[in-house]
Amino acid sequence: MNLDFSPEEIAFRNEVREFIRENYPKELEGIGTREDLTREQFLAWHKVLGKKGWSTPAWPEKYGGTGWTSTQRYIWSEENARVDALMPLPFGVAMVAPVIYTFGSEEQKQRHLPGIRSGEVWWCQGYSEPGAGSDLASVKTTAVRDGDHYVINGQKTWTTLAQHADWGFFLCRTDPNAKKPQEGISFILVDMKTPGIEVKPIKLIDGTHEVNETWLTDVRVPVENLVGKENEGWTYAKFLLAHERSGIAGVARSKRGVERLRTIASEELVDGKPLIESQDFARKISQLEIDLTALEFTELRTLASEAAGKGPGPESSILKVKGTEIQQRLTELTLEAVGNYGAPYGYGMENAGNEGFGVGPDHANFAAETYFNMRKTSIYGGSNEIQRNIISKMILGL
């Protein structure tokens, strides 16, 4: 065990840093990660990385992975976080792709993986339903076989950024008579342009349109879009969720967030002195950073064991719970730091006839909105209550 980078790893870091500096799209600089960006903005860096062959470092090499070690992947996320890079969205790269290359047909791999890698094709996730949230296995959307098609009917919800999506992966019930709810579910790929799909926006409490309701009415999908075996979709769904969980920790991004918080706290004044000089606040930042360090080393241990050939297991629930708690605390402290200027409503400025934002210091813009938005993180991807159930059942054996 040791924590030092080898000379090769340092060389790799320098190469990556240089590449990012030269190629990170200028138009994205300084916008951070927000939910109200355009499709082009979301995909800009992804497309650059696709050309370079670096958009999918975690994939197996034969499908276009980079073959980097876990240390190199760590360096990669750190370097991107340093510039607040808008990383490829997870729905294609980290969610459906691992399912396709692990369980999909040869034809599915050839058809879908290149578009995911290049950033040309946008994917969305059709998992949750109004009645199936934490209890995901109770999905009611049906896919009924009709010749060489499935006919899909039902309603999905919380489909993140589906307004931009070209394709979606859906959990559908194919055997309504299965004994257990987990049985009889299939994992189906759906072209979002198929007739019968309607995507309706859901406005969230921060004012953004990030998620949608997706209604499916007699949507005809060719049977070759079934992934793996019919009625065994739950296995793939769980596999995907474990992948989603490990990506959800967001260590590098939170580290950058702590740095930003420090900067804000050194600019904000209390009785004429920087907020960061107040012991109360400085200790809160320290506590957050200590929690983040614990998460970082837990993630590194997980990556190392993945590199040793173990897939992400129930331990990834730790990363999800701790990672999201830290992200939420970070936005809470950021809002606290900006004081009175947390109040102006960034997304509402235009309603009041204002152009742009321009109220209070720039670093205060969207502090409250981001805090509100990040409450979602302990709910999505399997709520943190569900993650604790997983740990309790799978690790503690209770």
Partner 1 sequence: MDFNFTEEQNMIRDSLSRLIREQYDFDTRRKVIESESGWRPEMWAQFAELGLLMAPFSEEDGGLGGGPIDAMVVMEEFGKGLVVEPYVPSVVCGGGFLKRGNDAQKEEYLSGIMSGETIFAFAYAEPRGRYNLADLETTAKKDGAGFVLNGHKAVVIGAPWATHFIVTARTSGDRRDSKGVSVFVVAKDAQGVSTRDYPTVDGRRASEVYFENVSVGAESVIGEVDNGLPLIEMVTDEAIAAICAEACGAMKVAHAMTVEYSRQRKQFGVPIGKFQVLQHRMVDMFMEHEQSISMTYMATLKIDEDEITRKKAASAAKVRIGQAGRFVGQEAIQIHGGMGMTDELAVGHYFKRLTMIDSEFGNVDHHLKRYTALTEMDLPAAAE
Closer by beta carbon to partner 1, 151 or else 391 = 391
Rank residues 23 and 278 by Cβ distance to partner 1 and give the closer one. Answer: 278
Task: Give the nearer residue to partner 1 in terms of CB position, either 18 or 350.
Answer: 350
How far does Cα 352 stand from its chain's mean position? Answer: 33
Contact 162, 124 (CB under 8 A): yes
Those residues with Cβ within 8 angstroms of residue 377's Cβ, 6 or more apart along the chain or in another chain:
248, 324, 327, 328
Q: Is 244 among the residues known to form the active site?
A: yes
Nearest approach in angstroms of CB 82 to partner 1 is 30
Residue 75 contacts residue 251 (beta carbons within 8 Å)? no
Tokens for 222?
Answer: 């060719």
SS3 153: strand
Q: Which residues bind partner 1 (CB under 8 A)?
A: 128, 131, 133-135, 138, 157-158, 202-207, 211, 268-272, 278, 280-281, 332, 335-336, 339-345, 348-349, 351-354, 359-361, 368-369, 371-372, 375-376, 378-380, 383-385, 388
State the catalytic residue, choosing from 79, 244, 299, 306: 244
Q: In the structure encoding, which two tokens stand for residue 208, read together?
A: 């953004």
Count, residues in the chain: 398
In sign, the C-alpha dihedral spanning 308, 312, 316, 320 is positive
Neighbouring C-beta atoms of residue 180, cutoff 10 Å: 8
Instruction: Work out how close the CB of 273 gets to partner 1 at its nearest, in angstroms, rounded to a whole number.
Output: 10
Residue entry with tokens 């995907």: 240
Distance of closest approach, residue 151 Cβ to partner 1, in angstroms: 27
Q: Which is nearer to partner 1, 151 or 379 (CB)?
A: 379
Provide φ and ψ at 157, rounded to 5°: -140, 170
Phi-psi map region of 253: left, alpha, beta (phi>0 left; psi -120 to 50 alpha): alpha
CB of 248 to partner 1, least distance (A): 16
The least CB distance from residue 4 to partner 1, in Å, is: 39
By beta-carbon proximity to partner 1, the closer residue of 121 and 282 is 282
Residues designated catalytic = 244
